[in-house]
Structure 1
Amino acid sequence: MEQRISLITLGVDDLARARRFYEEGLGWQPRDAPEGVVFYQLPGIALALFGREDLAEDAHHPVDGRFSGITIAINERSEADVDAVLAQAADAGATILKSAERVFWGGYSGYFADPDGHVWEVALNPQWTINEDGTLTI
């Protein structure tokens, strides 16, 4: 099997609220939005928002309300960029879980939860390269 991720789907409680957060709050533009789902094209990958109950039904896995241990990361080019993304997310209604700080692995990172509780890390890893097109090279 080829090593890649093509799509991350977030189960959301209120699709309209989630869209407002990502589009109005974070400034993301949808690529496609058929009934009940919205897709955002990201560099080399896509993100989908889909009703949480609909996703549970589709996956044949109940919503159990526990943190799954999965986070999604946005890697930035500078500490100032990390701070700016966290501030933008907070202004859009995110909950800041951890303010950005220098971390043991030599980078700088913080965490926020979107309105549906999905945990995002915003980080600068000085050993990694963020390419012109936004893709990551480790």
Structure 2
Amino acid sequence: MEQRISLITLGVDDLARARRFYEQGLGWVPKDAPEGVVFYQLPGVALALFGRGDLAEDCHHPIDGRFSGITIAINQRSEADVDAVLAQAAAAGATILKPAEKVFWGGYSGYFADPDGHVWEVALNPQWTINDDGTLTI
């Protein structure tokens, strides 16, 4: 199997609220929004928002209310950029789970949860490169 991720889908409780958070709050622009789903083109990958119940039905997995153990990361080029993204997310209605701080692996990171509880890490890893097109090179 080829080593890549093409699409990340987040199950959301209220699609309109989720769209407001990502579009008005974070400034993201949808690429496509057919009935019941919205897609955002990101560098090299896409993100979809889909009703949580519809997603559970589609994948035949019940909603059990537990943290899935999955986080999504937005890597940045500087500590100031990390702080700015966390502030923007908080202003848009995110819950800051961990304010940004220097971490044991030599970087700087913090976490927020979007209005549906999806956990995002915002990080600077000085050993990694954020390319001009926004893609990550490890």
What's the TM-score once normalised by structure 1's chain length? 1.00
Q: Distance in 2 between matches of 1:119 and 1:83?
A: 16
Q: Distance in 1 between matches of 2:122 and 2:21?
A: 16
1:94 shift after superposition:
0.1
1:49 shift after superposition:
0.0
Q: Deviations over 1:79-113 (max 9, x none)?
A: 00000000000000000000000000000000000
Q: Deviations over 1:2-32 (max 9, x none)?
A: 0000000000000000000000000000000
Q: Distance in 1 between matches of 2:10 and 2:63?
A: 12
Q: Deviations over 1:25-62 (max 9, x none)?
A: 00000000000000000000000000000000000000
What's the TM-score once normalised by structure 2's chain length? 1.00
Q: What is the match of residue 6 of structure 2?
A: 6
Q: Which residues of structure 1 form unaligned runs of 5+? A: none
Q: Distance in 1 between matches of 2:134 and 2:29?
A: 15
Q: Deviations over 1:58-82 (max 9, x none)?
A: 0000000000000000000000000
Q: What is the match of residue 55 of structure 2?
A: 55
Q: What is the match of residue 40 of structure 1?
A: 40
Aligned residue pairs total: 138
Q: Distance in 2 between matches of 1:98 and 1:33?
A: 32
Identity of aligned residues (%): 91
1:118 shift after superposition:
0.1
CA RMSD of superposed structures (Å): 0.1
